[in-house]
Structure 1
């Protein structure tokens, strides 16, 4: 029986990662991964790592701090605004939220972000990691989970058209919608800290790359989930190897 029309299905060429593959989270800059690593996540501006499963990081729901000027100058109407007309900011990372509140704005955003996904595919990545799916939680009520799901559906459709698998990034709130959105696996931060590892493991048949930033959380995760999930301890700034403060451990 064919899938219902509302379900986003991936073509057979899409290749999700293997469960429990050793993972390196290289968002702060690319570097040669350790020999045991089988999967790497890098920023979309970096080249993939030869011979590994490569995940292309795209900040799809917020503006990168160094790109804020570009958005303000060229796409000011696509930044979420407060009652005074000022951009709504994710204070933790100083990132303006993108306005995904209407179908028209979501379509306009896809004209910008869709080509980024195309670039990931052209570069040779296997998957994309659209970050800040949970930005609605920082929108002061201006965005909803439904808005996030609707935009995520557009993102997964574009990625699957380019034979890219798609990671759900964080937020257990949208796990019940994972099939209709079209997610293939998960990249999650601090699932041990928030006691969410089991939810993601069950939802994605252990195809979960989990990153912890505190040693005690990493140790707890390894004890509970080390045989099922790919677990990594990183410094919060995900600094490249060789730089001061770099932390990179696996179970």
Structure 2
């Protein structure tokens, strides 16, 4: 599901691996030391998810997930000064006609509309075409100072994209996306794509999920929790009384949000 509502060689050498190695001690908020190349969010961290416009920094939580294009390096720095970790939302599975790099996508990779105004599915089989575009988007996230990336729409194979995508195509693409993030010292989250959690949990540093409680699927995210990786979860229509107790039992970081993903939130 989409929201109802973006070299490494030097960094990798200097920090002895972007995604491996021993874990540093966690700080008081459960996050890893700032000296660590890739941030590793732990289960239970509270978070804010705001994709509607520039960030409202009033939520007293340690993690913010915000739009990478619509927020500036100054916005990220302001959150960092307040002690927050900041995740960069980027669409990697669909073309958007309102993004500044819209002309970088050749017509050959544009598929069916995905139900959101101005968006079309991408042919994720065309890795050589899409990789440099996504690298530039992740460069933007890194250069603005983000700690992590939330790549959206990484389950096109389960939708009517206009292309004969397979689960294998999606695994290949999602692993490439994770590698692009790690090459830039960015943590990366797996957005939804619950059927492929077992194959991808080792490649991603946390998960972001929409409405697993509504569809009785939250247990499928347990491999992330078992691996010590946060699961950032929202519901839109379920009352908190119907999902918060189970979320706490599973170790999810859950809250109720309005579909527009503005600043309003009601955490568990």
Fold in common (TM above 0.5): yes
Question: How far is 1:68 from its partner?
Answer: 9.9
Alpha-carbon distance between aligned partners in 2 of 1:64 and 1:40, rounded to the nearest angstrom: 23
Match of 2:121?
Answer: 97
Structure 1 residues 33 and 11: alpha-carbon distance in aligned structure 2, compared to 1, 3 A threshold = farther
Match of 1:221?
Answer: 243
Match of 2:87?
Answer: 55
Q: Report the TM-score, using the length of structure 1 for normalisation.
A: 0.81
SS at match of 1:226: helix
Q: Which string of whole-angstrom CA distances, capped at 9 and with x for unpartnered residues, describes residues 67-125 of structure 1?
A: 49934x85212213xxxxxxx11125552001112xxx212111111111111112111
Match of 1:28?
Answer: 52
Q: Report the TM-score, using the length of structure 2 for normalisation.
A: 0.76
Structure 1 residues 74 and 53: alpha-carbon distance in aligned structure 2, compared to 1, 3 A threshold = closer
Match of 2:34?
Answer: none
CA contact (8 A) 1:16 1:127 kept: no
Q: Report 1:53-132 matches (<5 A).
A: 53-67=85-99, 70-71=102-103, 75-80=106-111, 88-92=112-116, 95-101=119-125, 105-132=126-153
CA contact (8 A) 1:11 1:160 kept: no
1:209 corresponds to 2:232: yes
Match of 1:244?
Answer: none
Q: Report 1:147-158 matches (<5 A).
A: 147-158=169-180
CA contact (8 A) 2:207 2:231 kept: yes
CA contact (8 A) 2:175 2:200 kept: no
Query: What is the count of residue pairs matched by the alignment?
Result: 224
Structure 1 residues 74 and 177: alpha-carbon distance in aligned structure 2, compared to 1, 3 A threshold = closer
Alpha-carbon distance between aligned partners in 2 of 1:61 and 1:79, rounded to the nearest angstrom: 10
CA contact (8 A) 1:24 1:39 kept: yes
CA contact (8 A) 2:149 2:189 kept: yes
- 1:169 pairs with 180, 184, 191, which one? 191
Gaps of 5+ in 2: 1-16, 22-36
Q: Which string of whole-angstrom CA distances, capped at 9 and with x for unpartnered residues, describes residues 143-200 of structure 1?
A: 12211111111111111111111100002111121146x1111000001111121221
Q: Which string of whole-angstrom CA distances, capped at 9 and with x for unpartnered residues, describes residues 17-42 of structure 1?
A: 1211111001112111322x111101
Name the Cα RMSD after superposition: 2.3
Match of 1:85?
Answer: none
SS at match of 2:188: strand
After the TM superposition, which of the residue ranges 225-234 and 22-31 deviates more from structure 2? 225-234
CA contact (8 A) 2:206 2:231 kept: yes
